[in-house]
A and B are shown apart, each in its own frame.
Chain A
Amino acid sequence: MMTNDGYAARKMVKKVIFAIVILFFLLIQIYPVLWVFMASIKPTVELSSTPFSLPANPTFENYISVIREGNIWRYMWNSIKVTGGSLILIMIFSSTLGFALSKFRCRLNSKLYSFLTFGIMIPVQITLIPLFIFYSRMGILNTTFSLILPQVGFAIPLSTMMFVNFFTFVPDELIEAATIDGCTPYSIFTKIMLPLAKNTFVTIASMYSILIWNDFIFANTFISRNSAKTVAMGLKDYVGAFGNVDWGLTFAAIAISILPPMIVYFALNKQVTAGMTIGATKG
């Protein structure tokens, strides 16, 4: 028979093993990210001699060089314009679409809904060639709009779905009562539906601000001019004297550029994960 002590000891060992396994997985997952921050405060000499140890002489020279060089602010500003512009349009289009599809009487609604949500399956690569040709004919390559158009288009299916899901929960009786009280569809939308949908707006905004900020493929295709580059593309710019990547500068620039999505994520992580997991499971 096992003594109480033996039982407690075995339980303890199990607990410790469990904790080690969890920490091990966690380490794999976040070590590269921590490492970027660590490497960004290392002097160049240390970066090449002891790249993976803790910085012995932490320095901010990499940050100072990146900031002094100044391009990072322009890249950030371009990313802010694209992200902000896209978010506004995504909100307008998907909330109105969601309202039309869930609260109006029309036989076509469920067909239109399937047509819209079909877009979740479409790979974004399909748009690159046609849009590139269209933009170059119109002379609007290298503009903020050239990035906003596909970002908004590909965000509409999922965000419309989220609005439809939410609006369906608003009781029809509420809308009938408002109509009897003399509300037009427009005032029902602005006075009743929009205030109720605050959480849906926050979920969509937090998720898409991160996704759009991080975009690489559209920016890499439609932007070639330095003055129009977004942050993600700019990260490839930090090249040293011999044409090699200057890792110190690159890591400092990465650290600066991932800060905005990190802030959004740590402030609103429930909404961000909720939005992204709906995206992955409702397709």
Chain B
Amino acid sequence: MSGVIRNRKAYLVFLLPGLLFYLFAVFYPIIDSVRISFMKWGGIGPMKFIGLANYTKLFTDHVFYKSFFNNLVYLVIVVGMQLLIGLLFAVLLTYMKKHVSLVKTLYYVPCIITTVAVGQMFRSMYATEPMGLFNIILDSVGLESLARSWLADINTVLAAVSIPEGWRFTGMYMVIYYAALISLDPQVSEAAEIDGANAWQTLWKIKLPMIRPVIILSLTMCITGALRGFDVPFLLTNGGPGNESELLSTYMYKQAFSSNQFGYGSAIAVFIIVESILAVFILRMITRNREAI
């Protein structure tokens, strides 16, 4: 990547303002997080260097394990919803002839609404007092015994805080997959149909494999997005009841800003960043190996 202009001074004039801003706003905090993660600091007075103590504490902290496990469940639900429903709806849309762009436009709306509003909407839908939408639906189909306060019940709370996040971005993944499916050369699937493949086979054997690169790229984004999930669980339950819906980033947030354990909070933050980078790396390895075969 290289252009034609040779003018060192002008180059620096264009490069440096943005680069320095980026270094200060993004890179300095990363390095500083690592530094603070070796400290003990309660918010006032000088920081005290304690070496790896925050990290050893991390690996003996059962709430940390709980949050990590919860985060995996959250990831499975969120990624599952966004990928499967997004893909299913994109496929359906390719069979639609009229009003495609209207449906696409409306389907995308949840992505542009602030998480606070999403949180408030779902809070009222999950409620029992007054009856929320979920309980009313259960009631109307004769399953009122299943009605409950979804955010207070320890068996349902984790799923209840995951679903809004999955719901929110389904439309975005639908748009991505739809664009990929539409851009496929129609001749390939026409040829398959002439050879006797039905619509189902064309979809599974031809169309989906052809958009595999797009699926993998969106999967990367989806997974790293879910690993850093924060807003909806924080707003709906703040990790509760107990730590039943605690995720890594809500735990990090509470440690730092509620318990004033900035060092320990930073250790969790460093863990989140390492975990995200590792996830991307592993995903790339898996997909590269499969491509080699």
Select the stretch in B48-56, B152-160, B187-195, B249-257 that faces chain A.
B249-257
- CB <8 Å contact, A217 and B231: yes
The CA of A123 and the CA of B270, in the complex, are separated in Å by: 10
A103 touches B (CB below 8 Å): yes
Given the complex of chains A and B, what is the CA–CA distance between A2 and B111 in angstroms? 47
- CB contact between A280 and one of B15, B33, B121, B176 (< 8 Å): that residue: B176
Q: A126-B273, A129-B33, A233-B116 are in contact. Are A22 and B175 (CB under 8 A)?
A: no
Residues of A near B14 (CB, < 8 A) are 96-97, 99-100, 104, 185, 189
Cβ-based interface call for A92 (8 A): yes
Q: Which residues of A contact B230 (CB under 8 A)?
A: 125, 217
Q: Is B11 a contact partner of A104 (Cβ separation < 8 A)?
A: yes
Which stretch of B61-69, B124-132, B141-149, B200-208 is in the interface? B124-132
> Of B3, B25, B273, which one neighbours A105 at CB under 8 angstroms?
B3
Over the window 11-47 of chain A, the binary record of Cβ atoms lying under 8 Å from chain B Cβ atoms (1 yes, 0 no) is 0000000100110011011101101100100000001
Q: How far is the CB of B131 from chain A (nearest CB, A)?
A: 7
Knowing A96-B17, A116-B22, A175-B4, say if A126 contacts B29 (CB, 8 Å): yes
B32 and A130 form a contact (CB under 8 A): yes
Binary interface profile of B, 94-132, with partner A (CB < 8 Å = 1, else 0)?
A: 011000000111111111111111101111110000111
Q: Give 8 A-B pairs besides A96-B14, A280-B217 with Cβ atoms closer than 8 angstroms.
A: A33-B110, A101-B15, A104-B3, A105-B3, A129-B269, A152-B21, A185-B14, A221-B253
The answer to whether B103 touches A22 (Cβ under 8 A) is yes
Q: How many residues on chain A are close to B (CB under 8 Å)?
A: 105
Query: Across the interface, which residues of B come within 8 angstroms of A48, CB to CB?
Result: 130
CB contacts under 8 Å to A, within B1-28, are: 1-7, 10-11, 13-15, 17-19, 21-22, 24-26, 28
Q: Which residues of A have CB within 8 Å of B29?
A: 126-127, 130-131
